[in-house]
Chains A and B, each alone.
Chain A
Amino acid sequence: MSSSLAGQIALVTGATRGIGKAIAENLVAAGATVVGTATSEKGAATISEYLGQSGTGKTLNVTEPGAIDQLVADVQKEFGKIDILVNNAGITRDNLLMRMKEDEWDQVLETNLTAVFKISKAVMRGMMKNRHGRIINIGSVVGTTGNPGQANYCAAKAGLIGFTKALAKEIASRGVTVNAVAPGFIDTDMTKALTDEQKERIFDTIPAGRLGRPEEIAAAVGFLASAGAAYITGETIHVNGGMSMV
């Protein structure tokens, strides 16, 4: 097993299951120590359990004022630094725009975009001082293609790409890269919520003819976290089985 991330500390939000869990496991396999966050105590315990000696789970509700700064301070105190930040936590509140409530819009923007700004801001100073860091934002294919019923989610994910590019330009000179990974349709609880009709329509648009696996997203994240990706910044890697080629 490669240990290219030995000695590095990674913070992965939304790590209880699905893509976040696969990312945490990929980084651990590469030698990193991982702090994974969950919204509930139970989720944090689940993370601590699967990480074992390689890390720990912590609770983080990104919409709770002050919670992000507190978590980042705690991790820096406990582990000394944060080398890798993976902004993975995300929610959907789907509705056709004509029926979309302001609350559904606000919640999705708050968790999927505003929280990324807050967490990135909290960790970047340490990375800049260390002259090394990786910020990896998990986007979505629909941030580029759009998807009916997901105007809020698409807006947040498209915004994430602009954020990624701007921050990448700001801090590239400090050895900190900022990139995004945009999954297509991946076999997780989030896509299990789709109706059969939705799924069938989606399958027709995926040249690979199948859903992606969380590990296939994690592999791209693992690459961006590695030393070999030091010269890649502001980029979005699309992992979608050919569904959208940008």
Chain B
Amino acid sequence: MSTIEERVKKIVIEQLGVKEEEVKPEASFENDLGADSLDTVELVMALEEEFETEIPDEEAEKIRTVQAAIDYINKHSA
């Protein structure tokens, strides 16, 4: 079983088409990984699917970095 961190990173790599070494914890989806607004929405939806959770819009807006995504899932998964 992969860790939450590994699963989040895998989704980021798949959704944004970036290399594994680029997906550092502090990397910003929009500024460092080249995501546009639609990419970030798709990313959030992919996270929702993977972790079987629903991320409210106001929370989704705050998920701007790899670490923020990992933190959110850690905090909200059972």
Chain A residues near B (Cβ < 8 Å): 125, 128, 170-171, 173-174
Contacts and interface: CB of A to CB of B under 8 A. Distances in A.
A108 to B, nearest CB: 30
B36 A125 contact: no
A171 B45 contact: no
Interface of B: 36, 38, 42, 45
A125 B36 CA distance: 16
A170 B36 CA distance: 11
Nearest to A128: B42
A243 B45 CA distance: 45
Contacts of B38: 170-171, 173-174
B15 to A, nearest CB: 10
Closest 4 CB pairs of A and B: A173-B38, A128-B42, A170-B38, A125-B45
Nearest to A173: B38
7 contacts: A125-B45, A128-B42, A170-B38, A171-B38, A173-B36, A173-B38, A174-B38
Contacts of A170: 38
A125 B38 CA distance: 11
Contacts of B36: 173
A123 to B, nearest CB: 14
A173 B36 CA distance: 10
